[in-house]
Amino acid sequence: MSLLFSPIKEFFKKGDVILLALCLAASAFGLALIYSATQYLGETRWIRFVFVQFVAVLLGTAAYMLLTFVDFQLFLEKRWKPILAFNFLFMFLLLTPLGEDYDSGNLNWLVLSRIIPGFPMDVQPNEIVKISFILLLALQIVKIQDRGMDISSIPSIIQVGGHTVFMLGLIAVICGDFGMCVIYMMIFVSMAWASGVKLRWFVLVGGGITLAAVIFWLFFLPETHWWTDYRIMRFRVVFDHTLDVRGRGWQQTRSTLAIGSGKLFGQGYCQGIQTQAANSDALPARHTDFIYAVCGEELGLVGCMALLLLLSGIVLRCVWVGRHASSPFNAYVCMGMAGMLLAQITFNVGMCLFILPVMGLTLPFISYGGSSIITLFAAMGIVSSVKARPMPSWLRDRSQI
């Protein structure tokens, strides 16, 4: 028994218990919302959703505790090439018969039940690869700085930018997932900013991406249809909420109605009109992309603010750990994790409030998704591993000067 409890005691001594508590609290909040959002399906189906999410939280917690004991900088020093190859090959599995898009237009899921009968959840490679991407990008930045190169120099920007563009291209070509590309870009931005990349590069690259997008839409989409292309319409409906209400604006129209009807304290848990409805006018994707609207309808503004404060606490904890990290590598990893969470929270909530286009992004720790939950806990476990390796006292004292 001592062999079993010894690592647990060590975890509570060195690991980030505060971050774990915040993650578990957010997951409990999410489980409660998933339970409510799936009631309309009937008992035989809502039990499956809640059970899968609960098991994912348990597995994620185990992953969090195990990864706390891993020194990732030491691990990556000799194994970065296999990890890079893993990213590439894992994404390409989506092009095999295991890949599935579920009519979403994004080839994001590996259906493992096709080779493992009864396997309860699908796997999203681009969710898992996000974590290894952050680790590899942090290592790359540190290697550049260790060689004495200015991180804002053109050769440095080409190296870190090329790595990011490669991953974006991989996701765009294989998955066609614009929303996930945005998250990867935000990860890059947060880590580049933390490493000291000058502001001019963000202005130049941001302007270049915007210009390239405009040129693509104007000259490469079919001339007679580009203005009504579904990708363009996702943006147009944000600026004109009366446009295509029954089409591209349908999901967000129902979302804003649900949130608005909740007012201050909501309609009551498990009593939301749209959340509990089973007809065609009900809130769509209520247990995944639009679960924030479920919170708004049933728990009101108070519930939404509590949810956002909880998620903000996780992001700020990642930043705090990064600020006290023992090495630049660890600091960049924490900032990458914080940037990933902040971007996904911002875009999901903005989508639900109809101020940002639909991107198919779920709300971290809240939305249903087994592989997503396990990956998020694993990511936070990496942050906990940074907390478990504090800066030496003599160096910490110098840092305060």
Does residue 211 form part of some domain?
yes
Predicted pLDDT of residue 221:
55
Domain that holds residue 227: 2-392
Predicted pLDDT of residue 370:
85
Q: What is the CA radius of gyration of the chain?
A: 22
- Predicted TM-score (pTM) of the model is 0.90
The alpha carbon dihedral of 208, 212, 218, 219 has a sign of positive
Give strand pairing partners of 107.
Answer: none
Q: How far apart are CA 333 and CA 335, in angstroms?
A: 5
Does residue 269 form part of some domain?
yes
Binned average pLDDT, 10 residues per bin, the chain of 401 residues: 68 91 97 94 85 94 94 86 89 88 80 82 87 94 90 88 88 85 92 90 79 66 54 79 81 92 93 87 89 96 97 97 92 96 96 90 92 94 90 48 41
Does residue 315 form part of some domain?
yes
How many domains is the chain partitioned into structurally?
Answer: 1
Predicted pLDDT of residue 119:
77
Does residue 93 form part of some domain?
yes
DSSP letters spanning 57-113: HHHHHHHHHHHTT--HHHHHHHHHHHHHHHHHHHHHGGGSTTEE-TTSS---EE-GG
Predicted pLDDT of residue 51:
92
Does residue 398 form part of some domain?
no
Residue 194, token pair as written in the block: 């933390």
DSSP at 40: G
